[in-house]
Amino acid sequence: MSPNAVASDIGTDVSVEPVHLSWANRLISIDTVSRHSNLGLIELIRDDLKRSGIDATLTFGKDRKWANLFATIPAHDGEINGGIVLSGHTDVVPVDGQAWDSDPFKPAVREGRLYGRGACDMKGFIGTALSLIPEMQSARLSKPIHFALSFDEEVGCVGAPIMIADLMKRGISPDGCIVGEPTSMRPIVAHKGINAYKCCVRGRAVHSSLTPNGVNAIEYAARLICFISDIAREHRKNGPFDNLFDVPFTTAQASLIQGGNAINTVPAECQFQFEFRNLPTVNPEDIFARISSYARDVLLPEMHLENPDTAIEIRPLAVAPGLEATEQAAITQLVRALTSNREKRKVAYGTEAGLFQKAGIPSIVCGPGDIEQAHKANEYVEVRQLDECHNFLSKMVLSLTAPAI
Ligand SMILES: [Zn+2]
């Protein structure tokens, strides 16, 4: 029975499901919306690996409510260093307020599509990768294959840095990493960096008839926001530019704001959030340094002149580096060869690939499904995309198989 036949006319009959589809179904059935613990899913995978004789290393987030899982299938000679990482995040975005036609946590196959929260982003990929473990174990692997499953990617790549730091500490340095975010199985060689911050401006409240005695937090916040907007305009006008991106320059904006409590009171506090998305060739630290130095060296001294008991605090919400894979990297060449795709594609959305790359592990993004179908009501992945991913990973295993002596 071909997987496509299952997709087209047999629906969710688990008795005939190909194993990669049943793995995806198991994962989608566990609600791992980022705000909830992902331990149920991580323990399910850990226990399954254990039954196959593979020990997984868990690294934990706050209060041990969330965990990353890293596991290695060694090469035939027992080597666990080098090799390829298959990376995916286990959390999914919320379904609140979305009109779903079926229960988002009850996966269902209809007309060749697997529906469910995370089907596309990115439990379809993780399930497909896990379904190949028996094949990986029976192959005579010349290099190890690693699984790197993270928590809380959707809320700003919270989990992956903890897992990567642990790898570095344990001296594990894989040769390359494939991040299976939805790309319709086309290699993505670059994405922008994400840099999101929260700023809190603390002024001093007084009656609005006495403005010279207060410090207006909204006005100072507004000046900082205008400064950020000027940076955005500068990049739009002067570049640098990379026309392979939809928006070919670095962008910046303030996106949320809250401040003041009454029309007749000088506002004591204003909080806002801002983000900038840098081209991978633009250093995000330089941009942040300009923003924080304007706050510290221009605005704050003025505020202190009015009242010393005032402040501007800026803290990061999510910082994930951009990705720029080199064509010469072995992982880029391997993924290009396995997909027979040499197009140079760059995308606006961020992934964990930039984090692996920054840690010295050459990375590329390639996974089943279309990002268009992610995060929405009735999220789905085409079953044939999962089949394609299965073929791609099978070929990858084959490419890592050492000839028998
Ligand atoms: Zn994702």
Which tokens in the block code for residue 283?
């250093």
| Cα 121 to middle of ligand 1, angstroms | 5
| Cα 119 to middle of ligand 1, angstroms | 10
| Cα 285 to middle of ligand 1, angstroms | 24
| Cα 184 to middle of ligand 1, angstroms | 13
| Cα 230 to middle of ligand 1, angstroms | 31
| Cα 78 to middle of ligand 1, angstroms | 32
Angle, CA 174 vertex, CA 77 and CA 196 arms, to 5°:
160
| Cα 323 to middle of ligand 1, angstroms | 15
Give the pLDDT of residue 405.
Answer: 60
DSSP 306: H
| Cα 212 to middle of ligand 1, angstroms | 49
Alpha carbon distance, N-terminus to C-terminus of the chain: 35
Alpha helices in 114-242 (DSSP H): 124-131, 133-138, 160-169, 217-238
Give the pLDDT of residue 31.
Answer: 97
Contact (CB, 8 A) for 390 and 368: no
| Cα 371 to middle of ligand 1, angstroms | 8
Q: Containing H/E element for 181?
A: none
CA distances from 49 to 67, 71, 129, 278 (A): 16, 8, 12, 38
| Cα 310 to middle of ligand 1, angstroms | 40
Residue with tokens 């250093």: 283
Predicted confidence (pLDDT) per residue in 164-174, tens digit: 999 999 999 99
| Cα 288 to middle of ligand 1, angstroms | 25
CA distances from 139 to 135, 136, 331 (A): 6, 5, 20
| Cα 349 to middle of ligand 1, angstroms | 9
pLDDT by position in tens, the chain (length 405)? 333 333 333 344 434 468 888 899 999 999 999 999 999 999 999 999 999 999 999 999 988 999 999 999 999 999 999 999 999 999 999 999 999 999 999 999 999 999 999 999 999 999 999 999 999 999 999 999 999 999 999 888 899 999 999 999 999 999 999 999 999 999 999 999 999 999 999 999 999 999 999 999 999 999 999 999 999 999 999 999 999 998 999 999 999 999 999 999 999 999 999 999 999 999 999 999 999 999 999 999 999 999 999 999 999 999 999 999 999 999 999 999 999 999 999 998 899 999 999 999 999 999 999 999 999 999 999 999 999 999 999 999 999 997 766
CA distances from 267 to 215, 227, 254 (A): 8, 20, 19
| Cα 99 to middle of ligand 1, angstroms | 21
Residue with tokens 């199985």: 185
Peptide bond into 107 cis (omega under 30): no
| Cα 149 to middle of ligand 1, angstroms | 12
| Cα 151 to middle of ligand 1, angstroms | 11
| Cα 107 to middle of ligand 1, angstroms | 18
Judged on CB neighbours under 10 Å (0-12, 13-18, 19+), 342 is exposed
Give the pLDDT of residue 33.
Answer: 95
| Cα 122 to middle of ligand 1, angstroms | 6
Please state, in angstroms and rounded to a whole number, the distance separating the CA atoms of residues 191 and 347. Answer: 5
Residue with tokens 């305009």: 233
| Cα 301 to middle of ligand 1, angstroms | 42
330-339 and 383-399 helices, crossing angle to 10°? 130
Which tokens in the block code for residue 261?
């409590």
Please state, in angstroms and rounded to a whole number, the distance separating the CA atoms of residues 168 and 296. Answer: 35
Which candidate, 240, 215, 228, places its Cα nearest to that of 292?
Answer: 228
| Cα 91 to middle of ligand 1, angstroms | 8
Give the pLDDT of residue 394.
Answer: 96
| Cα 353 to middle of ligand 1, angstroms | 11
Judged on CB neighbours under 10 Å (0-12, 13-18, 19+), 206 is middle
User: Over the chain, what is the mean pLDDT?
Assistant: 93
| Cα 89 to middle of ligand 1, angstroms | 7
Contact (CB, 8 A) for 177 and 356: yes
| Cα 194 to middle of ligand 1, angstroms | 14
Q: Model's pTM, two decimal places?
A: 0.87
Predicted confidence (pLDDT) per residue in 229-245, tens digit: 999 999 999 999 999 99
| Cα 118 to middle of ligand 1, angstroms | 8
| Cα 154 to middle of ligand 1, angstroms | 7
Buried residues in 48-84 as b, exposed as e (16+ CB within 10 A): ebeeeebebbbbebeeeebbbbbbbbbbeeeeeeebb
The region, left, alpha or beta by phi > 0 then psi within -120 to 50, assigned to residue 214 is beta
